[in-house]
Amino acid sequence: MAALVAWPSRPEVTFAIGTRRDGDARLDGPDWSRVTSTIHSERWTLLTEEHGSVVRVVSAAGEHCGRDGDAIVTSAVSTPIGVWVGDCAPIGLVGDRSIAVVHAGWRGLEDGVVESAVDTMVSTGDSLRGAIIGPHIRACCYEFGSDDLDRLAHRFGAAVRGVTRESRPAFDVNAAIRIVLARLGVASIVDVGRCTGCRADAFFSHRVRRGSPRHVFGAWIGEPPA
């Protein structure tokens, strides 16, 4: 079962961090029940990620499931939302009333998917409390072409230039996420600190192991504590 993390200042908000044991990205696949059993609900909203910056707002369980997009925002109780990830970074955002999940690959980061999700939350009058960064490929395993890396360094800053274990140029996804969150004024960040490239025992990785399956990163708002 996916690891569950409750947000400290909003204990009714739970994030589910899936691993390869929770199955791949097939809603009708035999492993899907192992994911949905986390909250005993089949009515998740998961999108068809496009590595872009489209944000979907969900007001009822299952709304927009299967549509294109890379971020979901909801303020509804008992309305599970999630993104499928392998090497791309899953990010959870927590506001005073709403939550969001974001699928952030390098293209989505460059296109502003995190900013778009936060803008959507703020446009409803919400204020952002913090963020959680899930497992994703780290610089140690993410060799990157020089032209793309130069462009991303111009977009985010020199801190996104990393090196692999073989001392080759790499893109530091984690550094880029932290830079974006800092620009947005997010001070409270929880980072699970795991690399999908390194942890073949726990995570799928297309970049390192050429696998196609993915795991889910989910979130939901439960009933507030009495």
- Using CA atoms, how far residue 94 sits from 68, 112, 186, in Å, is 22, 18, 10
pLDDT at 24: 59
51, 107 contact by CB (below 8 A): yes
Of the candidates 94, 105, 106, 103, the residue with the CA atom closest to the CA atom of residue 184: 94
Of the candidates 93, 111, 113, the residue with the CA atom closest to the CA atom of residue 103: 113
Please state whether 77 falls in left (phi above 0), alpha (psi between -120 and 50) or beta.
beta
Place of tokens 């610089």: 139
pLDDT at 23: 60
How many CB atoms are located within 10 Å of the residue 22 CB? 21
- pLDDT over 90 at 110, yes or no: yes
Instruction: State pLDDT tens for residues 67-77.
Output: 999 999 999 99
User: Cα(71)–Cα(93) distance, rounded to whole angstroms?
Assistant: 10
pLDDT at 40: 45
At residue 213 the predicted structure's pLDDT band, cuts being 50, 70 and 90, is: confident
- pLDDT over 60 at 183, yes or no: yes
**What does the angle CA 116 – CA 173 – CA 187 come to, to the nearest 5 degrees?**
60
Least confident of 57-66, 88-97, 172-181, 215-224: 215-224
Of the candidates 68, 81, 64, the residue with the CA atom closest to the CA atom of residue 16: 81
Instruction: State pLDDT tens for residues 27-71.
Output: 554 445 555 555 445 688 999 899 999 999 999 999 998 899 999
Indicate the SS3 state at residue 56: strand
- pLDDT over 60 at 147, yes or no: yes
113, 125 contact by CB (below 8 A): no
At residue 225 the predicted structure's pLDDT band, cuts being 50, 70 and 90, is: low
Task: Work out the average pLDDT over 200-221.
Answer: 86
- Using CA atoms, how far residue 81 sits from 126, 195, 209, in Å, is 18, 23, 27
- pLDDT over 80 at 169, yes or no: yes
User: Cα(104)–Cα(111) distance, rounded to whole angstroms?
Assistant: 10
pTM of the shown model: 0.91
Helix, strand, coil in percent for the chain, rounding step 5: 25, 30, 45
Q: Which two tokens stand for residue 86?
A: 């392998």
